[in-house]
């Protein structure tokens, strides 16, 4: 059976709804994420910023912001390991299923709680501190809803499956599905069997990624890691580029 | 200094400023015009690229000089190497989510407006309606308790005076009596440092120093609002725009400087105390100078970075580095170079921050003169003044904290030079025989002393500002050969941006030429209303359509060929 035929078969088992949710939506979300960022970077470099509100208020931000950001960084690393590394790889490295799961659940729960706690502080601050609230746009509010829903669902899925329930090995269903998206052989069947909270988490994440390029979250993509290697003082010639933007096509300077 | 023999590294030009503090009357005109030009927008209500502080005083933002608290600038680490005081690259990235030493809005001030509408809307009543102050940040009623110059003229200094950071370093016993002793004004802009710690602190690399003129700018398209530059600058001259989420700072009015005009703050300075000019420096020596072990050695170390523009070796090296000839000539005529290196009366502001600042100050002699005059002695006599410079430790020590990292010797020397100039010129003004011994006592010649007097006291416009225009205008000519308007010659009718299809048609005139030409003519001509080399303007409202008033058409070219629109056409076509 060829790969394409297999895809068709499994797709048929998943039904139209399954195809829409686990094949069409991921690719749509991915396309909007990538192209959206390209468009935003070309069109709105000036708006590409963290829009920090530290000037208005520092007491709550000092606790909430690092809590949230470091938490979400650990969550990100956890997702990279959990979704991208196949189970056979960790097994080959000598990490058994039980020890992997205990580590992942513990770290994931701690990081998730930190993230959610930080987010709660930040949202409380955003609502109660006058200047911060008046600097909050509708776009921000929608982003906060989407972000909070995604994180809360993710944490809920972990807690529900591992602490309340007997544990769920997402590396047999969710992770292969995630990889199948990027190997262009999407397998919606894998996802149809996952617990509801996992499916909701994945759905909300896809919606969040589709909205990502149009929110203030873009600052993540320009995380300044280049700072570690560049020289301290930047010199730039006035003549290389007149004005801050590169000239539009057809308007380049000659000579 | 035998600079000719020493190897010269990469020569760079720096646009720099010197302010003569004796002349500052604290009128805030520079601040206001700068604000109108650059920061009259939402998001930067609290921002003053240029501000004038009364010293002794806390400054703006409050107590910004307390680097133990604000961690601005550079320091030498344990191995004697230059390091950012607020922490290196890793520390910056670790604390990026919440900058631990960012000044809050209260350290600047809460900007406000007034509820003016009440004055016109209020119903008839017994009491006059009041326009209440409203915060521009929260929009609510507020009590005004601080501003950018709240302690202006020592206002409230009985309450806040002891908070002056420098006074704490000078001496315990003078803390309570300083306001009876002396007072002066300190206008401040961005220092456009040779070793800018704001640029070094920027995680995005958005703050850069221009190679051509050394102006430090923020690329608004690359700034991501990480806020580290605000901490990095020890002068607190990088500001966070809370609406756009981007850093903003003084631009040295680069659109004006590029066409040879002084900055707005200089142009509008009532006291004519600002000087703008080029300084040539050796970029390869900057790090070494900034790493000078002793804080008090930094003033001399920075001077050793500057190059003598009259030295043939320097000229050759500058030409190799691609600095245009007219820029080298401008550097030779530069008043900034003269005040810093020839007359040695200008000092850097807080050299101990190790950023090698490029806005220097001529310290004020007036506290000394006032003290001598108040004591009933002749305040023009150099012997009295010299003795006073030696005796009046409070102002000298305070100035030393400000300009030489606490070393009183250079401040003493500058004040003595200024005092000598004062008494030497007094003899000349009174028609007496000038005393050559006076300049000699401060190590200057008579002619040099007169030149210094001319630059400091007469301060002619074109001697104060020696600003060579940028060479962007050549780029246009070089790349678009023979595409310019044929009437666009110097003084021609096309000059000023009129193309063949009327005003503003044709290729875009450089903004420089179009916008600033009129201003330039006005400043350099003797007749403000009608420049002699310009055609008189014709008021067409008064023209009945018959004949041709003089000046309506340009004069026919001298070679004859007066066809078409000559002055000879009597009847206009209907």
pLDDT digits (tens, 9 = 90+) for B171-202: 555 555 555 667 899 999 999 999 999 999 99
Q: Cβ–Cβ of B210/A253 closer than 8 Å?
A: no
Q: Cβ–Cβ of A234/B96 closer than 8 Å?
A: no
Q: Cβ–Cβ of A51/B225 closer than 8 Å?
A: yes
Interatomic CA distance for residues B458 and B439, integer angstroms: 19
Interatomic CA distance for residues B49 and B192, integer angstroms: 12
Q: How far is B242 from chain A (nearest CA, A)?
A: 7
Q: Cβ–Cβ of B92/A244 closer than 8 Å?
A: no
Residue B345 phi, psi (nearest 5): -110, -5
Residue span of the structural domain in which A108 resides: 3-228
Partners of B244 on chain A (C-beta within 8 Å) are: 46, 49
Question: Based on the structure, what is the number of domains in chain A?
Answer: 1
Closest residue in chain A to residue B212, using alpha carbons only: A237
Q: Is the pLDDT of residue B495 over 70?
A: no
**Short-list A33, A57, A251, A217, CA closest to A140:** A217
Q: Is the pLDDT of residue B212 over 80?
A: yes
Q: Cβ–Cβ of B212/A255 closer than 8 Å?
A: no
Q: Is the pLDDT of residue B480 over 50?
A: no
Return the number of CB contacts < 8 Å for A and B. Answer: 130
What are the tens digits of pLDDT across the range B244-300?
Answer: 999 999 999 998 998 889 999 999 999 999 999 999 999 999 999 999 999 999 999
DSSP state of A203: H
Instruction: List C-alpha distances in Å: B177 to B157, B164, B364.
Output: 11, 13, 20
Would you place residue B396 in the very low, low, confident or very high pLDDT band (cuts 50, 70, 90)? confident
Interface subset of B 75-114, CB within 8 angstroms of A: 89-90, 92-93, 96-100, 102, 104-105
Average pLDDT over residues B511-538: 55
- pLDDT score, position A96: 84
- pLDDT score, position B170: 62
Interface subset of B 161-200, CB within 8 angstroms of A: 195-196, 199-200
Burial class (CB in 10 A: 0-12, 13-18, 19+), B40: exposed
- pLDDT score, position B348: 97
Q: Is the pLDDT of residue B555 over 80?
A: no
- pLDDT score, position B475: 46
Known binding site: residues of A?
A: 69, 79, 201, 219
Interface subset of B 212-251, CB within 8 angstroms of A: 212-213, 219-227, 240, 242-246
What's the ipTM? 0.87
Would you place residue B569 in the very low, low, confident or very high pLDDT band (cuts 50, 70, 90)? very low
Q: Cβ–Cβ of A244/B221 closer than 8 Å?
A: yes
**Short-list B483, B490, B487, CA closest to B502:** B487
Interatomic CA distance for residues B378 and A191, integer angstroms: 96
Known binding site for heme b: residues of A?
A: 69, 79, 201, 219
Q: Which of A131, A218, A243 to mutate to test the interface with B (most CBs of B within 10 A)?
A: A131
Which tokens sit at B479? 């790349």
User: Which of B90, B138, B205 lies nearest to residue A234, judging by beta carbons?
Assistant: B205
Side-chain half-sphere of B219: how many Cα atoms within 13 Å? 26
Interface subset of B 355-394, CB within 8 angstroms of A: none
Q: Which of A223, A225, A227 to mutate to test the interface with B (most CBs of B within 10 A)?
A: A227
Higher pLDDT, B405 or B376: B405
Q: Cβ–Cβ of B220/A244 closer than 8 Å?
A: yes
Q: How far is A119 from chain B (nearest CA, A)?
A: 13
Q: How far is B566 from chain A (nearest CA, A)?
A: 39
Q: How far is A148 from chain B (nearest CA, A)?
A: 19
User: B365-401 in b/e burial notation, b at 16+ Cβ within 10 A?
Assistant: bbbbbbbbeeeeeebbebebbbebbeebebbbbbbbb
- pLDDT score, position B521: 60
User: Which of B100, B137, B209 lies nearest to residue A234, judging by beta carbons?
Assistant: B209
Q: Cβ–Cβ of A58/B102 closer than 8 Å?
A: yes
- pLDDT score, position B2: 47
Would you place residue B501 in the very low, low, confident or very high pLDDT band (cuts 50, 70, 90)? very low
Pairing of strands B112-114, B238-241: unpaired
Closest residue in chain A to residue B255, using alpha carbons only: A243
| Range of lowest pLDDT (A31-45, A135-149, B500-514, B545-559) | B500-514
Match 């023979």 to its residue by tokens: B482
Q: Is the pLDDT of residue B542 over 80?
A: no
Interatomic CA distance for residues B40 and B33, integer angstroms: 10
Query: Looking at the complex, does the CB of residue B29 fall below 8 Å from at least one CB of chain A?
Result: no
Would you place residue B535 in the very low, low, confident or very high pLDDT band (cuts 50, 70, 90)? low
User: Which of A70, A131, A244 lies nearest to residue B219, judging by beta carbons?
Assistant: A244
What are the tens digits of pLDDT across the range B150-166?
Answer: 988 887 776 776 677 77
- pLDDT score, position B504: 42
Partners of A237 on chain B (C-beta within 8 Å) are: 210-212
- pLDDT score, position B376: 85
Q: Which of B225, B291, B480 to mutate to test the interface with A (most CBs of A within 10 A)?
A: B225
Would you place residue B377 in the very low, low, confident or very high pLDDT band (cuts 50, 70, 90)? confident
- pLDDT score, position B445: 94
Q: Is the pLDDT of residue B469 over 70?
A: yes
CATH number (domain holding residue A135)? 1.20.950.20
Interatomic CA distance for residues A214 and A212, integer angstroms: 5
- With a CB cutoff of 8 Å and minimum separation 6, the contacts of B300 are none
Domain edges within chain B: 12-257, 472-542
Partners of A245 on chain B (C-beta within 8 Å) are: 221
Higher pLDDT, B218 or A10: B218
Higher pLDDT, A68 or B481: A68
Cβ atoms of residues B105 and B135 within 8 Å: no
Closest residue in chain A to residue B223, using alpha carbons only: A49
CA B433 to chain centre: 38
Cβ atoms of residues B122 and B152 within 8 Å: no
Measured from the Cβ of residue B90, the count of other Cβ atoms closer than 10 Å reads 10
Q: Cβ–Cβ of B243/A135 closer than 8 Å?
A: yes
Q: What is the torsional sign of CA B223, B227, B230, B231?
A: negative
Question: How confident is the prediction for chain B on average, in pLDDT?
Answer: 84
pLDDT in single tens digits along all 255 residues of chain A: 444 555 555 545 668 888 899 999 999 999 999 999 999 998 888 999 999 999 999 999 999 999 999 999 999 999 999 999 888 898 888 888 888 888 888 899 999 999 999 999 999 999 999 999 999 999 999 999 999 999 999 999 988 887 777 778 888 889 999 999 999 999 888 888 889 999 999 999 999 999 999 999 999 999 999 999 999 999 988 755 555 456 677 776 665
- pLDDT score, position B476: 43
Would you place residue B487 in the very low, low, confident or very high pLDDT band (cuts 50, 70, 90)? very low
- pLDDT score, position A237: 84
What are the tens digits of pLDDT across the range A156-186?
Answer: 998 888 777 777 888 888 999 999 999 999 9
Interface subset of A 12-71, CB within 8 angstroms of B: 45-46, 48-56, 58, 61-62, 65-66, 68-70
| Range of lowest pLDDT (B329-343, B453-467, B541-555) | B541-555
User: Which of A46, A69, A235 lies nearest to residue B221, judging by beta carbons?
Assistant: A46
Partners of A239 on chain B (C-beta within 8 Å) are: 212, 472, 475
3-state SS track over B397-443: HHHHHHHCCCCHHHHHHHHHHHHHHHHHHHHHHCCCCCCCHHHHHCC
Closest residue in chain A to residue B209, using alpha carbons only: A235
Q: How far is A109 from chain B (nearest CA, A)?
A: 22
- With a CB cutoff of 8 Å and minimum separation 6, the contacts of B487 are B493, B494, B495, B498
Q: Is the pLDDT of residue B93 over 70?
A: yes
Q: Cβ–Cβ of A45/B200 closer than 8 Å?
A: no
């Amino acid at each position: 059976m060829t790969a394409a035929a297999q895809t068709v078969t499994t797709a048929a088992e998943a039904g139209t709804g399954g195809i829409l949710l686990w094949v069409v939506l991921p690719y749509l979300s991915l396309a909007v994420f990538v192209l959206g960022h390209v468009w935003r970077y070309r069109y709105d470099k000036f708006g590409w910023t963290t829009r920090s509100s530290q000037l208005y208020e520092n007491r709550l931000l000092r606790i909430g912001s690092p809590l949230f950001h470091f938490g979400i960084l650990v969550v990100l690393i956890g997702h990279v390991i959990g979704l991208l590394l196949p189970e056979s790889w960790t097994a080959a490295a000598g990490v058994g299923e039980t020890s992997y799961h205990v580590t992942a659940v513990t770290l994931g729960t701690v990081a998730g709680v930190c993230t959610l706690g930080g987010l709660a502080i930040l949202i409380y601050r955003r609502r109660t501190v006058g200047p911060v609230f008046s600097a909050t746009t509708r776009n921000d509010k929608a982003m906060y809803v989407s972000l909070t829903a995604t994180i809360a669902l993710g944490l809920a899925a972990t807690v529900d499956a591992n602490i309340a329930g007997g544990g769920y090995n997402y590396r047999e269903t969710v992770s292969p599905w995630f990889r199948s998206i990027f190997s262009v052989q999407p397998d919606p069947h894998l996802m149809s069997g996952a617990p509801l909270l996992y499916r909701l988490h994945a759905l909300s994440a896809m919606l969040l990624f589709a909205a990502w390029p149009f929110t203030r979250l873009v600052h993540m993509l320009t995380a300044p890691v280049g700072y570690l290697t560049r020289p301290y003082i930047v010199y730039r010639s006035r003549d290389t580029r007149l004005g801050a933007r590169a000239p539009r096509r057809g308007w380049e300077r000659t000579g | 200094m035998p600079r000719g023999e020493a190897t010269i590294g990469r020569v760079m030009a720096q646009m720099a400023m010197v302010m003569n503090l004796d002349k500052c009357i604290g009128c805030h005109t520079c601040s206001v015009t700068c604000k109108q030009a650059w920061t009259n927008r939402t998001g930067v209500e609290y921002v003053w690229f240029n501000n004038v502080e009364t010293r002794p005083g806390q400054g703006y933002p409050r107590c910004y000089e307390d680097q133990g608290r604000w961690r601005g600038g550079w320091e030498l680490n344990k191995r004697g190497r230059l390091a950012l005081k607020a922490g290196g690259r890793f520390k910056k990235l670790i604390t990026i989510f919440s900058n631990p030493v960012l000044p809050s809005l209260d350290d600047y001030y809460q900007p406000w407006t007034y509820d003016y509408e009440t004055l016109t809307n209020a119903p008839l009543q017994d009491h006059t309606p009041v326009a209440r102050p409203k915060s521009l940040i929260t929009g609510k009623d507020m009590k005004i308790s601080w501003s950018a110059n709240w302690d202006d003229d020592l206002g409230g200094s009985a309450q806040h005076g002891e908070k002056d950071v420098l006074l704490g370093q000078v001496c315990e016993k003078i803390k309570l009596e300083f306001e009876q002793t002396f007072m002066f004004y300190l206008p401040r802009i961005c220092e456009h440092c040779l070793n800018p710690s704001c640029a070094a602190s920027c995680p995005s690399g958005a703050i850069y120093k221009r190679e051509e003129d050394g102006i430090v700018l923020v690329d608004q398209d690359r700034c991501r609002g990480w806020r580290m530059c605000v901490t990095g600058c020890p002068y607190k001259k990088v500001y966070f725009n809370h609406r756009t989420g981007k850093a903003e700072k003084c631009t040295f009015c680069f659109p004006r400087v590029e066409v040879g005009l002084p900055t707005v703050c200089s142009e509008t300075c009532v006291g004519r105390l600002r000087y703008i000019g080029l300084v040539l420096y050796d970029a390869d020596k900057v790090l070494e100078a900034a790493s000078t072990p002793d804080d008090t050695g930094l003033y001399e170390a920075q001077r050793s970075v500057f190059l003598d523009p009259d030295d043939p070796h320097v000229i050759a090296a500058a030409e190799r580095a691609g600095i245009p000839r007219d820029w080298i000539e401008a550097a030779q005529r530069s008043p900034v170079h003269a005040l810093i290196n020839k007359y040695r009366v200008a000092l850097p502001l807080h050299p101990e921050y190790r950023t090698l600042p490029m806005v220097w100050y001529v310290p004020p002699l007036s506290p000394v003169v006032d003290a001598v005059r108040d004591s009933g002695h002749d305040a023009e006599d150099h012997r009295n003044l010299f003795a006073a410079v030696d005796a009046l430790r409070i102002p000298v020590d305070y100035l030393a904290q400000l300009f030489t990292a606490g070393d009183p010797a250079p401040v003493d020397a500058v004040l003595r030079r200024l005092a000598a100039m004062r008494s030497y010129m007094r003899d000349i003004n009174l028609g007496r025989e000038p005393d050559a011994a006076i300049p000699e006592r401060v190590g200057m010649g008579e002619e040099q002393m007169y030149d210094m007097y001319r630059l400091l006291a007469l301060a002619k416009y074109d001697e104060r500002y020696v600003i060579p225009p940028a060479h962007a205008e050549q780029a246009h000519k070089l790349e678009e050969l023979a595409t310019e308007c044929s009437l666009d010659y110097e003084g021609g009718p096309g000059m000023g941006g009129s193309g063949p299809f009327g005003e503003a048609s044709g290729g875009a005139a450089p903004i420089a030429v179009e916008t600033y030409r009129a201003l330039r003519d006005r400043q350099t001509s003797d007749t403000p209303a009608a420049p002699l080399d310009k055609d008189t303007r014709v008021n067409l409202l008064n023209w009945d359509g018959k004949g041709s008033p003089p000046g309506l058409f340009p004069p026919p070219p001298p070679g004859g060929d007066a066809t078409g629109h000559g002055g000879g056409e009597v009847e206009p076509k209907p």
